[in-house]
Structure 1
Amino acid sequence: MKQSLQLRTSQHLALTPQLQQSIRLLQLSTLELHQELETLLIENPMLERVDDPLDHAIRLLADGAISDSGKQSESEFAVQTTSEQSKTETSDNADNNEVNGEVTGDISTIAESTSQSDDDWSFDDSPQGSKSSEEDEGRPQLEAAHISLKQHLLEQMRVNLREPRDRALVELIIDALDDSGYLTESLDEIHASLPLELYVEPEELSFALAMVQSFDPPGVAARSPSECLALQIKRLPKIAFVTRRLALAIVETQLPLFAQRDFNKLKKIFNCDEEDLREAQVVIRLCKPKPGSEFASDASDYVVPDVIVKQVGNEWQVLLNQDVMPKLRVNSMYANIMKQNRGEGSLTPQLQEARWLVKNMRQRFETILRVSQAIVERQRNFFVHGAVAMRPLVLREIADTLGLHESTISRVTTQKYMLTPHGMFELKYFFGSHVATETGGEASSTAIRALIKQLIGAEDQKSPLSDSKIADMLGEQGMVIARRTVAKYREALKIPPVSLRKSL
């Protein structure tokens, strides 16, 4: 075989660094996106952020007066940035091959800022004409310091006990409590862990435990749920003696049976009628199974919407949330240096990466907006009538409409949230499988879950609906659904079974 050189043309797909960055930014949530940006801003000197998180902060001068210079400088800076951007974009269109032509590029339009004179504002940074009669109204308030369960109990110990030995034993019991307020170790285990030279008697530990159990909140330092509820029932005020005694007997001896709501067996065991059992049930429900939960320091996780849906006339308008859209640009100082050096230097790769990031960020939010608009168009009935009017929707339908791949739609709808008049939902919420109807149509699984929730919410608590009965009621509405499917949807809604929903 004779060797020869041949020239052939072919096409193939390759994941360029720019495309890899675009895919990674698209699948990030809002929080992860801002964390990624903070890292990129530190690593790349060519990139800077226009929106300052401290722009809206109150700045104080040395004499204590409030300075609004930050607002004025922000307004001037925004105007200058916009003008520089327009000039730069003009030069980019003229010659795309020059490195120094592309200087700045904002991801979103900078909002118009208005400046007010010093005479229009008082010391408390509120308009003089609308100043409230209350001095503290409108001023930022500091959050009170969080008090843990241990601190709350130690304060009560200092008031009630004076002997150092008693205080030490009580503090030992308090240290053994968990976050829910339960004593996780037995008194024998605590006694065995103490040094022998302290000569601590078991009776002393029992006294310390009884002292802690007398503290607030009621039920603290209990060793079991039965003991926790019993401690609270004993301290409840204005309870009839017969009712209190029955409630104590139930939680101390038959708490599992009460949790299963087997009221017929309870009436036979305690030889009581339905009215007495109902009154005891009300007393037990006044107790807290976890008395230390109110002192928990777990902060709530808040979700910030990426898009906002508003009704304008008869149409539904989809808007991007400007508060979560970072405004980026290429650093003008370094860009001017690159311009003078005609694109030669060690910062050329960083300049290209900064341009890629600005472009990919713009593309990310544009894709989210397009997908959200397509979802709103297909789920218009949901925004009018609620979840019961949700129609079946799959990723391929949106992908074919927008000319995108299903994987792109999946990345866009993951951990991205939409604020609607019915609440805030993840974009994946609007997608769901279908269930056939008797008329040959299709019903969304989301709509069926909403109907199940409505039926259970309107049921008679003395005779709740079983899964089979709910399936029959849905069948009467034309939805062919099996009992096990109803059970699966009910469990997804975190609704207990029929035996646990029954009440007296």
Structure 2
Amino acid sequence: MLKQNLQFKLSQKLSPQQIQLMKLIQLPTLAFEQRLKEELVENPALESGKDEVTDADEFQDNSDEFDDYDNEHIDTDDINIDDYLSDDEIPDYKLKSNNYSDDDEETFMPIEAQVSFHQNLIEQLNTFILTDEERTIAEFLIGSMDDMGYIRRDIQDIVDDMAFTQGIYASEEQVKSILENIIHELEPSGVGARDLQECLLLQLNNKTPNESIDLAKDVIENQFEAFTKKHYDKLLQKYNVSQSQLRKAIDEIEKLNPKPGGSFAGNSRAIEHIIPDFTVKVDDGEIELHLNSRNAPELHVSKDYQEMMQTYKEAKEKSSAQKDAVQFIKQKLDGAKWFIDAIKQRQETLFVTMSAIIEYQKEYFLEGEETKIRPMILKDIADMVGLDISTISRVANSKYVDTPYGTKLIKEFFSEAMTNDQGEEVSTIEIKKILQNIIADEDKQKPLPDDKLAEMLKEKGYPIARRTVAKYREQLDIPVARMRKKI
């Protein structure tokens, strides 16, 4: 049985403009610059530059202007042409804030043209006398390497692949011979290895033999598992050598490169350059915050489009073509005005958020000591600035600040709180720093296990469980005690 009833439902939705603003706030400086360029290309009514500036303050946020933004047809009689015209000419210097400067504008970062890792290896083949078939096999082996210089595939798989894709029918022995006699002779030493053990042996074989090198080769070749697990007592007993002799051999091994391809200068992937979104300076006990000037672009609405509106207003008879044109112009002008206003809101949001973080962590920014960082969560800053937690998260997760103590990701200043033995709340960052210092000062011949680290932290006033110590140690990328052992 069908029933029909009326139900009222209250819902809240973000407007397209609000969604776009949130996306702009989330973007770091480089991504924001790219977004700005895209908007300048997509909207001809939006212009940038210093030659001509229109007072952006006259473009007030009026919801009525956007009601028909996406409609296919606009009643041109309802358009107030005067809203899109301006006779004001304001000097450029009046529109600038002291927080921004031209110092880092128009900055270009040239990229060096380099030969790739694989291309460099192929060029080295010219130093060998090879038949066409041998060279083709050698090039195929080079192409089978990963970026670290390893060949992870089985020789038989490579033989089958060459037969299917290149029409080259080579034996497994022939391919293995070219790998060991040609590829393994290329630089950097160790390329073409099929595993870490072989990679280290290839590098040791290229070193001038001596007592330490010979012992190191024997250890890698015959006692590799004991070496990787740092069972030094077994190695001392096996080779009947002194600790000093074994230490020298291990020093030779530690000088080797486990990723020979990764160290090649031409093996450069796209590098993400960090450009700080903020700069913090400390002068005579006063903290100065500056927003990167790249986040404050000079934008204005196109004069040409405003003149088109003026022409339409002055026309006594308005043709159908003119009405269609003014509909398009209105949409573009509305979009340009909104984008300028969104940029200003983005600047304000970034600045007030970072200002609140500095105020909250004032002791750290004055002294630079990480143990001075207070426990701080997103809600603390959101309450201070009156913004939503999600907005603070967008700022913190993708922005960097240049401080006198290094460039920091803003989210690194946020941490949970723990209570010490005096009942005071301390930041987990402080505890991690103390843990890091304890491990740095430990006896490397007898590194401290996690339960001992927990006891030492408790003695310092931080009652933390062993599993929590293990979690913090892993977050600091510090291995377990056995792997920190040295002789």
So what's the TM-score if we normalise by structure 1? 0.78
2:361 — aligned with what? 379
Once the 2 structures are TM-superposed, how far is the Cα of residue 12 of structure 1 from its aligned partner? 8.6
Structure 1 residues 279, 364: closer, same or farther in 2, change over 3 A? same
Once the 2 structures are TM-superposed, how far is the Cα of residue 112 of structure 1 from its aligned partner? 8.4
1:63 — aligned with what? none
Does the alignment pair 1:28 with 2:27?
Answer: yes
Once the 2 structures are TM-superposed, how far is the Cα of residue 144 of structure 1 from its aligned partner? 4.9
Superposed CA deviations along residues 36-61 of structure 1, whole A, max 9, x for unmatched, are 333322322211222xxxxxxxxxxx
Equivalent residues of 1:309, 1:318 under 8 A apart? yes
Superposed CA deviations along residues 121-176 of structure 1, whole A, max 9, x for unmatched, are xxxxxxxxxxxxxxxxxxx9976532223322222221221543433333333233
**Separation in 2, partners of 1:112, 1:31:** 17
**Separation in 1, partners of 2:291, 2:130:** 62
**Separation in 1, partners of 2:279, 2:448:** 38
Could you tell me which of 307, 312, 327 is aligned with 1:336?
Answer: 307
Structure 1 gaps of 5+ residues are 1-10, 51-73, 115-139
Does the alignment pair 1:204 with 2:188?
Answer: no
1:7 — aligned with what? none
1:441 — aligned with what? 424
Could you tell me which of 200, 208, 222 is aligned with 1:229?
Answer: 200
Q: Which amino acid aligns with 2:446?
A: S
Q: How does 1:2-151 map to 2 (within 5 A)?
A: 15-50=14-49, 77=51, 80-81=52-53, 84-85=54-55, 89=58, 98-101=82-85, 109=96, 144-151=112-119
1:353 — aligned with what? 335
Q: Which amino acid aligns with 2:117?
A: L
Equivalent residues of 1:91, 1:102 under 8 A apart? no
Superposed CA deviations along residues 390-436 of structure 1, whole A, max 9, x for unmatched, are 11112222222222222222222221211111112222221111110
Number of matched pairs: 434
Structure 2 gaps of 5+ residues are 1-9, 66-79, 315-322
Q: How does 1:157-306 map to 2 (within 5 A)?
A: 157-193=125-161, 200=170, 202-209=172-179, 210-237=181-208, 239-240=209-210, 242-295=211-264, 296-306=267-277
**Separation in 1, partners of 2:187, 2:369:** 44
Segment drifting more, 256-265 vs 343-352: 343-352
Superposed CA deviations along residues 369-401 of structure 1, whole A, max 9, x for unmatched, are 111111111112212142111111122222222
Q: How does 1:410-421 map to 2 (within 5 A)?
A: 410-421=393-404
Q: What SS does structure 2 have at the residue aligned with 1:414?
A: helix
Q: Which amino acid aligns with 2:381?
A: I
Equivalent residues of 1:99, 1:342 under 8 A apart? no
Equivalent residues of 2:28, 2:277 under 8 A apart? no
Q: Which amino acid aligns with 1:274?
A: Q
**Separation in 2, partners of 1:185, 1:18:** 52
Structure 1 residues 158, 378: closer, same or farther in 2, change over 3 A? same
2:278 — aligned with what? 307
Once the 2 structures are TM-superposed, how far is the Cα of residue 189 of structure 1 from its aligned partner? 3.5
Structure 1 residues 37, 460: closer, same or farther in 2, change over 3 A? same
Percent identity (aligned) = 33
Q: What SS does structure 1 have at the residue aligned with 2:182?
A: helix
**Separation in 2, partners of 1:143, 1:33:** 21
Segment drifting more, 492-501 vs 151-160: 151-160
Q: Which amino acid aligns with 1:271?
A: N
Structure 1 residues 335, 212: closer, same or farther in 2, change over 3 A? same
Once the 2 structures are TM-superposed, how far is the Cα of residue 202 of structure 1 from its aligned partner? 4.8
Q: Which amino acid aligns with 1:288?
A: N
Segment drifting more, 326-335 vs 468-477: 468-477
Segment drifting more, 25-34 vs 260-269: 25-34
Q: Which amino acid aligns with 1:294?
A: S
**Separation in 2, partners of 1:14, 1:198:** 63
Q: What SS does structure 2 have at the residue aligned with 1:291?
A: coil
Structure 1 residues 251, 301: closer, same or farther in 2, change over 3 A? same
Equivalent residues of 1:85, 1:103 under 8 A apart? no
Does the alignment pair 1:428 with 2:398?
Answer: no
Equivalent residues of 1:437, 1:479 under 8 A apart? yes
